[in-house]
Structure 1
Amino acid sequence: MTTTPTRTVIRVADRHDIPALTATLVEAFVDTPDAVWLIPDPGERRRVYQRLCPAILTHAMTSGTVYTSGDHAGAAVWLPHTAAGNPDPHHTALIDRIAGQHAPRFARLAAVLHHHTPHRPHTYLAYLGVAPDRQRHGLGTALLTHRHATCDTAGTPVHLVATTTDARRLYQQHGYYDTTPTPVHLPDGGPPLWPMWRQPHTRSRGTAPGRGRP
């Protein structure tokens, strides 16, 4: 458990946190450009996301780690690169059932993400979501900083895919850089995505973080 200078407590989430975190993630992601591409109708999109987010959280708590704040206003979903590069077929089938008629779009998004997953070992930030009324107040930074400390100590790089320009700027402030020369666009005129990578930061004086190829 970590407490930031602003007294934000970050801890590992468990199954008892799923209802509260579902509400947070739905509000954080339901109107992002990739979500609109996946499900154009806003009412249908919200209904699907209300079923989708608990499934994602449950899977991540088994295959990886979910961190949250004391008030459940934010969540960071982390997976090992093996889980990101080799999706669980049972989880994929569950997502297909939840998505229903929209499953082909979810499959196309998953294929794009898989194509841009680096092969070298890393940890994968699958989702970083903060409730809209708590955004730009340092909670996303607190969630990132908490995990980065562990990654830096272990020498573990991080991979993620930013889905908005605001998210990309936040990640750049924390040492991430683009791994493609131009954004990756989803099919059929879909929105841009930015695959990104962060090298572990060393504590040695005068040593800059590396930018090894992912």
Structure 2
Amino acid sequence: MEDMVRVIALAFESDDPIEDYVFPNPEVRRRRTPGMLRILIKHRYLPADAATVALVDDKIVGALLWIPHGYRSPAWREAISGPQLLWAMGPGATRRGIEVDAAIARSAPVEPHDYMVYLGADPQAQRAGVGRALTSRLIADADAAGRAVCGICKDDNVRYYEPFGFERAARTRIGSKGPELNFMLRPAARVSAG
């Protein structure tokens, strides 16, 4: 898990509007993001079987975290992770993190879908196909199940998702004064009846 935390924290350390919004101070972001990610991975993504990694020489060089269709975290897990997130993030960042979760929930389509939340590669492995491989795997699994895949991204990342069949479906804002981002949707593949 620590390598997943490291890779995602590095990938989102700068030039990410959501992380900039949750942790506006870069020094606070570097200090607090790993703790937040550790708790999210442990209590949200691993229990949902919604964490995939890319390995090179047995070292994690990329990670994809998502919310699988229909997954609801058990109440006991939320009760445990909530105070841990508050402690790891601080009260202001926790409130802004809740606004991020609300934007994700608000933008999610009604149709069955998997919602990509974090896709990151170690800076040394970026532009080497790590993100493509992770995204392709999630899409293949979603296609096999007849589910859409979606997520939100900044303007600069729209071109990354388009070759996978994602379309810019809408804009969504984080909170009332946070960044406005693109809601990207890859419609469900038609599953043949056999």
Length-normalised TM-score, structure 2: 0.83
1:96 maps to what in 2? 86
Please report how far the alpha carbon of residue 187 of structure 1 lies from its aligned counterpart in structure 2 after TM superposition. 4.2
Provide the aligned C-alpha RMSD in A.
2.4
Instruction: Please state whether the residue corresponding to 1:30 is helix, strand or coil.
Output: coil
1:80 maps to what in 2? 68
More displaced, 164-173 or 46-55? 164-173
**Structure 1 residue 66 and structure 2 residue 51: aligned?**
yes
Q: 1:167 to 1:85 in 2, by over 3 A?
A: farther
| Residues 9 and 33, structure 2, Cα contact 8 Å, conserved in 1 | yes
More displaced, 19-28 or 83-92? 83-92
1:126 maps to what in 2? 117
2:138 maps to what in 1? 147
More displaced, 64-73 or 44-53? 64-73
Inter-partner Cα distance in structure 1 for 2:84 and 2:70: 19
Aligned residues: 184
**Structure 1 residue 138 and structure 2 residue 129: aligned?**
yes
Match of 1:36 among 3, 20, 43: 20
Identity %: 25
Instruction: Please state whether the residue corresponding to 2:46 is helix, strand or coil.
Output: helix
Instruction: Please state whether the residue corresponding to 1:190 is helix, strand or coil.
Output: coil
| Residues 96 and 175, structure 2, Cα contact 8 Å, conserved in 1 | no
1:57 maps to what in 2? 41
Inter-partner Cα distance in structure 1 for 2:52 and 2:27: 28
| Residues 8 and 122, structure 2, Cα contact 8 Å, conserved in 1 | yes
Deviation string, structure 1 residues 70-123 (Cα, Å, up to 9, x no partner) = 131100113223337999633444323322132222222222222112222212
Inter-partner Cα distance in structure 1 for 2:82 and 2:110: 20
Q: AA paired with 1:20?
A: D
| Residues 7 and 121, structure 2, Cα contact 8 Å, conserved in 1 | yes
Deviation string, structure 1 residues 9-50 (Cα, Å, up to 9, x no partner) = xxxxxxxxx011111011011221211111111111111101
Q: 1:110 to 1:28 in 2, by over 3 A?
A: same
**Structure 1 residue 174 and structure 2 residue 164: aligned?**
yes
Q: 1:107 to 1:153 in 2, by over 3 A?
A: closer
Please report how far the alpha carbon of residue 186 of structure 1 lies from its aligned counterpart in structure 2 after TM superposition. 3.0
Instruction: Please state whether the residue corresponding to 2:185 is helix, strand or coil.
Output: strand
Please report how far the alpha carbon of residue 188 of structure 1 lies from its aligned counterpart in structure 2 after TM superposition. 5.8
Q: AA paired with 2:88?
A: I
Instruction: Please state whether the residue corresponding to 1:126 is helix, strand or coil.
Output: strand
Match of 1:110 among 92, 101, 116: 101
Q: 1:150 to 1:104 in 2, by over 3 A?
A: closer
Q: Which has the higher contact order (CA 8 A, sep 6+)?
A: 2
Q: 1:29 to 1:145 in 2, by over 3 A?
A: same
| Residues 84 and 114, structure 1, Cα contact 8 Å, conserved in 2 | no
Instruction: Please state whether the residue corresponding to 1:82 is helix, strand or coil.
Output: coil
Please report how far the alpha carbon of residue 133 of structure 1 lies from its aligned counterpart in structure 2 after TM superposition. 2.4
